[in-house]
Amino acid sequence: MELAAAVPALMLLALVAFQLLAVGYSAVLAGDAAEAGALALAGGVDARAAARGAVPGWSRARMAVSVSGSVVRVALRPPSPLAVVGRRLEVHASAAIGSTR
């Protein structure tokens, strides 16, 4: 009987752990994409396309890339079973070329 009562709590704990891992992985992907975009910008290539090409296909629909001068900014929503949670946990990364002073 006690095990049956613990199952929902264990499921919630597993969901929270998954969500934390997804946020961390999304932050890494966003940073990699911003860096790829900045490197492409430095080479005279389309920074948005380079940033999108640096991430797995599943994450491209959840990604926003902006280029302003020499700075590439990436916002990425992590996968989540609840859309509102994914929007609230959106991660951001940026990379720049040249001097940032």
Is residue 101, in this structure, part of any structural domain at all? no
Q: How far apart are the C-alpha atoms of 51 and 15, rounded to whole Å?
A: 29
Is residue 37, in this structure, part of any structural domain at all? yes
The answer to whether residue 56 scores a pLDDT higher than 70 is yes
Range of the domain at 22: 2-96
Dihedral, 11, 13, 60, 63 alpha carbons, nearest 10: 140
Structurally, the chain folds into a number of domains equal to 1
High-pLDDT (> 70) share of the chain, %? 96
pLDDT digits (tens, 9 = 90+) for 11-31: 999 999 999 999 999 999 999
Q: How far apart are the C-alpha atoms of 47 and 59, rounded to whole Å?
A: 17
Is residue 29, in this structure, part of any structural domain at all? yes
Q: How far apart are the C-alpha atoms of 60 and 87, rounded to whole Å?
A: 15
Point out which residues pair with 65 in neighbouring strands: 74
Is residue 36, in this structure, part of any structural domain at all? yes
